[in-house]
Structure 1
Amino acid sequence: MRVAVLIPCHNEATTIGKVVRDFRAALPQADIWVFDNASTDDTTAIALREGAQVRPVAAKGKGNVVRAMFRDVDADVYVMVDGDDTYPAQAVAPLLADVIAGRADMVVGTRLDSHEAASFRRFHGVGNQLVRRCVAMLFGSPVRDVLSGYRVFSRRFVKSMPVLSKGFEIETEMTVFALGNGFVLAEHPIAYGVRPEGSESKLSTYRDGVRVLKTVLFLFKDMRPLLFFGGIAAVLALAGLAFGSIVIAEFSRTGLVTHPSTAVLAVALTLVGMVSLATGLILDTVNRRANEIQRLITDQLLGQRGPAGTAR
């Protein structure tokens, strides 16, 4: 089994050296990759000095970095961890075990069960809970920590996922992609630490929070089009029936329709609801065929690789 440790970084000179050393000690046979996202400090120099392989990524945003990591690194199992020294390297073994044994395609190190008071900035814990509840409601699968940056992936997951996000919403996209495409997701609690002095979070509480919620909504539309557009159709149909019942009740009493605008609104709402339902049915069929083609292509590509990720 070839294991690759992938560390996305932007200006993490304060912590990257320790992160590389810790994962080198925990996984001595693993390849350690640092993907430097346009850092202006000594992140690259320190990572090279500690023996990591470094790749620069010019396009800013964590999603862009993950796209490069998944595209450029070849391994059997992938460990992704932030370079801010808040995730413990010694906790990687149980996360790896589920993927290596084939029990999961993605294992998430959940932070909410064990963390220090200063681990989360103001509103971050609340935001995480909000996103978690949205994902559980829309996809029917409870996930304890949607936004964790400590994850282990199978090769099949990495080479199947088309990374669309550009920023910190990438963790949400990974979780939703796994839930929506039949990948097995597991979670293990970890002890989440605090950034050391001199290290600053790049996450914007409000801007990135809105992006995460938008990502959940858009991915739900893309992956569950029938449920998404069917829900809209149901709301419109009920509204059309409500307005239509007013017109029908009036006509049954008086034999007249004195509110033609209400009748037109009822018909319009019903028609738009039917169009929405038809849109959902069509997109659901297209989505199913696209998923089948994607899985066939992925299986063929992975089938051409040996157990160590080298061509047969």
Structure 2
Amino acid sequence: MPDREHVTVLLPTYDEAATIGDCVDGFQAEGFDDVLVMDGDSDDDTREIAREHGARVEVQSGTGKGQAIREAVSDHIDREYVLMADGDGTYKAEDADQMLPPLAEGSEHVIGDRFADMEAGAMTKLNQVGNKLTNRLFATIHGESFADILSGYRAFTRASFERMQLSADGFGIETEMAVECAKRDIPTTVVPITYRKRPAGSSTNLHPIRDGSIIFLELFRRAKTSNPLFYFGSVGVVSGVAGLLLAAYVGFEWFVYGIPHNVLALAGAAGIILGVQLVMFGVLSDLILTLHREQLDRIKSLDED
């Protein structure tokens, strides 16, 4: 396990006055002497309470969790390892004993699986369904199963984080990190953790519909370079099916009632043609990507020899 003196605990926060003090105390009790609270310019006393409990506090220059994490790692952390959690009291500082050991065993990124031990009421049914759909979609697109890609409890090397190309400002940052781990073959380990119900007086900054939509769109957008067959093929199938349905409707109206729908007929034909072209483009893109990866593997093997 990495020594605590080589680890910075990162807690991105926004209006977490009710819980941040206990979070900081918990990680300090576990032996961490560098707890960084990256605050999104909270309207409550989050920053003051964090300082009173001995944390290092910085105010991010932009907005959103993703921007806070990127800025924290690039500008305010110089230690080799980062242990990242939320400041809302839902993660246990004691679980650091599960999160950190894989970093000393060859992993560069560790994800805490909240579903391994989730307290009753810690996550709404809607959020549970959304999380499971997101994880299945991720596994389909990237061929990796990280169990809980939306988990906010992470441990990673600063070097591996700097290799990632991250742009999400909000809650999509966890999705981006998981995608980058799969895309760049960053050794990743999933460990079981406890996910607790929010303490009384603490309110969530997560908006299920809005943030869920952002996460799904981010997954789909990232598929363009990770799985182009899925990216173009899925749109092509939708377009083709829509075109076929329009064509069936036009045919039915023409043969049964003798009513022509010239515009709809053109739209249906366009949908079918576009769908076929997108699927073909997806197949070709996937072939090019496969050949590119094979070339990179050959170059890597030659360098190692």
Contact persistence 1:228–1:280 (CA under 8 A): no
Residue 45 of structure 1 deviates from its aligned partner by 0.9
Gaps of 5+ in 2: 245-261, 297-305
TM-score, normalised to structure 2, is 0.78
Matched, 1:214 2:217: yes
Distance 1:185 1:86, change over 3 A: same
Matched, 1:11 2:15: yes
Per-residue displacement from partner, 1:143-178 (whole Å, max 9, x unpaired)?
221211101012232111122111112111111111
**Partner residue in 2 for 1:33:** 36
**Partner residue in 2 for 1:200:** 203
- Name the SS for the 1:35 alignment partner: strand
**Candidates 150, 153, 159, aligned match of 2:153:** 150
**Partner residue in 2 for 1:228:** 231
**Partner residue in 2 for 1:253:** none
Contact persistence 1:165–1:173 (CA under 8 A): yes
CA distance in structure 1 between the partners assigned to 2:223 and 2:207 by the alignment = 23
Query: How many percent identity over aligned positions?
Result: 33
CA distance in structure 2 between the partners assigned to 1:289 and 1:217 by the alignment = 21
TM-score, normalised to structure 1, is 0.76
Per-residue displacement from partner, 1:182-203 (whole Å, max 9, x unpaired)?
1122111111111111110110
Q: How many residues align?
A: 277
CA distance in structure 2 between the partners assigned to 1:235 and 1:201 by the alignment = 36
**Partner residue in 2 for 1:106:** 109
Mapping of residues 80-91 of structure 1, within 5 Å:
80-91=84-95
Mapping of residues 66-85 of structure 1, within 5 Å:
66-72=69-75, 73-85=77-89
Gaps of 5+ in 1: 242-259, 294-312
CA distance in structure 1 between the partners assigned to 2:11 and 2:41 by the alignment = 14
Matched, 1:179 2:182: yes
Contact persistence 1:9–1:34 (CA under 8 A): yes
Q: What is the identity, as a one-letter code, of the residue corresponding to 1:67?
A: R
Contact persistence 2:240–2:276 (CA under 8 A): yes
**Partner residue in 1 for 2:47:** 44
Residue 237 of structure 1 deviates from its aligned partner by 8.7
- Name the SS for the 1:113 alignment partner: strand
Distance 1:289 1:196, change over 3 A: same
CA distance in structure 2 between the partners assigned to 1:126 and 1:238 by the alignment = 27
